[in-house]
Amino acid sequence: MKTLYEGKTKNLLRDEATGESYLLFKDSATGENGMFDPGYNTVGGSVSGKGKIGLEVSAYFFELMEKNGIPTHFLGADIEKGLMKVRSVSVPPLEFVLRYFTAGSMCRRFTLASGIAFDPPYLEVTLKDDAQGDPLISERLCLMKGFLQPGDYDRSLALLVKVGAVLRSELAKLNLRLLDFKIELGFDENRNIVIADEITPDIWRVQDEAGNIPNQIDCAKMILERIRA
C-alpha cells in the first residue's frame, strides 16, 4: 500500500498492484490538550481501538445512505485491518456544514448561546485549511479558485440537506438528537456528487437523553453498542 495522503484521523492509501483506494482509520482524535471535540482541527490525543470503532460506525451509516438513494464513495470495509475500500473521486478542500442548533464554533464566532434552534437548518461551506482556521467560503470564491463548477454549490447543499434528514432520523431512533454535522463531498468522472471521507461522531455533535453532548470517543462507543443491539 502506498500512502497518498496522511490526515489527522485517516490516511488515504492506494494498492499499487490493483489500483484500488482505501482509507485507513487511525486511533487519533481531534481536540486540544487531551480534550476531544469534533469541532477542532488539531489532534487532541489517541485512543486505542478508536479507528476500528469509527470504521464500523461509518460503514453502517454509509450503507444507510446508499439504501436511501444517497450516493457515497463507500465500497466495503475490513474492520480488523481498519480499512475502508472507496471509489476514487475528486474531493475539493471544502467542508459542507449543516446546523440544526447553535453549538461549538458558531457560538464562539458570533457570540451566540448554545442550543438555539434553526428552522430551516443553517448551511455553511468552509475552506478546509487548518492554518487559516477553516474559514467560511462563498460560492463565488469556490468558483474563482476552481474548487467547484457552476451549479455544484447548490447541488452540494441540496445533497447536504438530504444527508441531514437521513442522519437525523436514524440518530433519533438511537435516542440521540443531532445538533450539527459536516461532510466532505467528492465528484466522480461524470461530476456526480457523492459523500466522501467518513460518517462518524468525528463529524457531528449530538445530545443524549440527559441533554449531555458526548465527545466523539464516547459517542462512537455508545452508537456502536446501539446499532449492534
pLDDT tens digits, one per residue of 91-110: 999 999 999 999 988 999 99
C-alpha cell at 79: 474492520
Bond before 120 cis per omega within 30 degrees: yes
C-alpha cell at 148: 467547484
pLDDT: which is higher, 48 or 147: 147
Which parts of 105-200 are beta strand (E)?
Answer: 117-127, 177-187, 193-196
- 184-209 pLDDT, tens per residue? 999 999 999 999 999 999 999 999 99
Note whether 188 and 194 are within 8 A (CB).
Answer: yes
pLDDT band at residue 133 using 50, 70 and 90 as cut-offs: confident
Whether the model clears a pTM of 0.85, i.e. scores above it, the answer is: yes
Note whether 8 and 18 are within 8 A (CB).
Answer: no
